[in-house]
């Protein structure tokens, strides 16, 4: 326990979950919440608007998409870190528009906006996103907007 001021203290701890436990938790979250598959906006922050409805079936949910993107962020950051070796000050936000087929494959991915100002990095990130697999779900193809912030660590 660390004393951080008069009358205040802080306890910091962490728990490591194995891969199987993370999958079980993610599947539980995905199964509990359904979102309208026609409009999914994955914007982060206070401006985010959720469009939730109760649905039955195996529709692609907001949580499912976020889970897959989070699971694959390491691949995107790996590409980013390689580019930072040549340009240490490289940072910024990139926003992808991604169309996902019911098969889970990405049929279309484009960069909606980018602050990176590095076309080679942007094309490599886009190529990586196009290889993501979102898993099979019933329904129609869905297009989502997903931002990723790249900051030097």
Contacts of 147 (CB under 8 A, 6+ apart): 42, 43, 44, 93, 94, 95, 96
pLDDT above 70 (res 11): no
CATH number at residue 144: 3.30.1150
Q: What is the pTM of this model?
A: 0.62
Chain segment 18-77, per-residue pLDDT in tens: 555 555 555 554 444 334 344 344 444 444 444 433 444 568 898 999 999 999 999 999
Residue 1 confidence (pLDDT):
55
In Å, how far are 23, 33, 54, 69, 84 from 28, measured between CA atoms?
Answer: 8, 9, 16, 17, 37
Domain contains 112 = yes
Residue 95 confidence (pLDDT):
97
Domain of residue 48 covers 17-150
Residue 114 confidence (pLDDT):
97
Chain segment 92-126, per-residue pLDDT in tens: 999 999 999 999 999 999 999 999 999 999 999 99
Domain contains 92 = yes
pLDDT above 70 (res 6): no
Strands 142-150 and 106-114 come out as unpaired
As for how many domains the chain has, the answer is 1
Domain contains 1 = no
Domain contains 95 = yes
141 exposure class (CB count in 10 Å sphere: 0-12, 13-18, 19+): middle
Domain contains 96 = yes
Tokens of 19: 């891969």
Domain contains 8 = no
């Amino acid at each position: 326990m660390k004393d951080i001021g008069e009358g205040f203290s802080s306890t910091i701890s962490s728990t490591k979950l194995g891969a199987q436990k993370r999958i079980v938790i993610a599947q539980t979250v995905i199964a509990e919440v359904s979102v309208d598959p026609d409009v999914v906006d994955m914007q982060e922050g206070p401006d985010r608007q959720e469009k939730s409805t109760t649905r039955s079936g195996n529709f692609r949910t907001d949580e499912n998409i976020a889970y897959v993107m989070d699971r694959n962020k390491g691949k995107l950051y790996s590409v980013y870190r390689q580019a930072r070796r040549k340009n240490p000050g490289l940072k910024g936000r990139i926003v992808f528009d991604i169309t996902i087929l019911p098969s889970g494959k990405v049929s279309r991915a484009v960069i909606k906006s980018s602050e990176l100002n590095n076309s080679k990095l942007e094309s490599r990130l886009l190529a990586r996103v196009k290889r993501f697999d979102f898993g099979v779900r019933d329904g129609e193809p869905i297009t989502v907007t997903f931002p990723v912030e790249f900051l030097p660590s």
